[in-house]
Amino acid sequence: MPIQILMPALSPTMSEGNLARWLKNEGDTVKSGEVLAEIETDKATMEFEAAEDGVLGRILVPGGTAGVKVNQPIALLLEEGEDAASLETHPAPGAAGGGQGGGPTSVSEAGVVPGGKAPALRLGPHPNPPPAAAGEGGSARVFASPLARRIARDAGLDLAGLFGSGPHGRIVKADVEAAVAAPRPAAAPVAAAPAAAPKPAPAAVNPFEPAFEAIPNSSMRKVIARRLTEAKATIPHFYLSIDCELDALLKVRAELNGRSDAYKLSVNDFVVRAVALALKKVPAANASWGEEAIKRYTDIDISVAVATPNGLITPIVHHADRKGLAEISTEMKALAGKARDGKLKPEEFQGGGFTISNLGMYGVKDFAAIINPPQGCILAVGAGEQRPVVKAGALAVATVMTCTLSVDHRVVDGAVGAEFLAAFKKLVEDPLAMLL
């Protein structure tokens, strides 16, 4: 029997999503790893990839459909050698292939896959919403990777005129970069379009407000706004700051980086390692609030805030206490690159027990971060800078970094937060202890 492809729950809060568009047509051969569709969730826009070979037999939910329930069948995949006649047992979504009819709409109805087979999908999220299907009019669809679309959008380039060098003519990053670098002819005068003029922005309430450009909020930006508002309004934050001297750490970092070209350690790599080992010493800080019980995590999974064009996302270094500096460095570079390119998988950014937000590379001296729920703590890391310090009763100069721990007082008491920061400071100022 055909394999049902179901609408998945891509985040703990997701009950429905928007099927933005299909990248395969009915009857197309599907190879494992090829992208089938793009789906908008409450956190980001996700790419669906085929997990096995087959033929896309029938699309049950067309592109551009909003409010598709979790576990609702969205398509049928025929396995190799399977007759298309088997599709007849599954009614089409509508006379013209539109709408959502024919598929169950509740989790209980859609939870069983014929033959006991799992949905033939893998996931790879990206935070860049694709162009809406309704905006494409009657023109042919343009097949392009999400990264290629983002580069083209930033450069003001129309993808419709490009030739794709990717699989099946798909436009990829290299195609767009080549087009951007090529000289462009002067644009010809365009006749007035018969379509209605765009609606003007609503008049400002304040007549003295300066001119502005209205930038629509992406799904990701809306979720960030909602979560941070809820966090600040419902979590009783308190803050603890500590100064850490970095001179010994910077010396060890330079020595280690000089030993091999296989890695390039950053101060943040040492911070991740120090946080992981400090949480091992003070496990009460590795926790989250629950109405019935506090969850104290036995795994040390550290989220690290990464800036992307659409907002912050927090990829996770799993089991950070079991990884050395070189492994943490390599993993963080890969995760940060995937975050900026929109290639993180859900398991790479959902979860985590403790977050680090480092703005030191921007020269920020110190700041207090908002807790990333449901976690109980977030560490804000400032820039290392030379400051006067007193050592053995005499004035000296040292490279000092201020770190501020934001704490959920329901989960972590002041003494526990202070104990964690003391353990963290000791590791930072004695970096050789992190190598043992």
What beta strand segments (E) does 235-318 contain? 237-245, 287-288, 295-296, 302-304, 306-308, 311-313, 316-317
- Compute the distance between CA of residue 260 and CA of residue 353 in angstroms, rounded to an integer: 32
Q: Provide DSSP, 184-248.
A: -PPPPP-PPPSSPPPPPPPPPSSTTPPP----PPPHHHHHHHHHHHHHHHHS-EEEEEEEEE-HH
> Does the active-site annotation cover 168?
no
Indicate if the alpha-carbon torsion angle 255, 260, 266, 269 is positive or negative: negative
- The active-site residue, picked from 237, 318, 319, 409, is 409
Q: State how far Cα 325 lies from the chain centre.
A: 24
CB 150 within 8 A of CB 128: yes
The token pair that represents 274 in the structure block? 């120090």
Cβ(385)–Cβ(365) below 8 Å:
yes
Residues 319 and 300 sit within 8 Å (Cβ to Cβ): yes
Q: Are 262 and 326 in contact (CB under 8 A)?
A: yes
User: Tokens standing for 324?
Assistant: 């050395």
What is the bridge-based pairing of β-strands 295-296 and 287-288? Answer: antiparallel
Residues labelled catalytic: 409
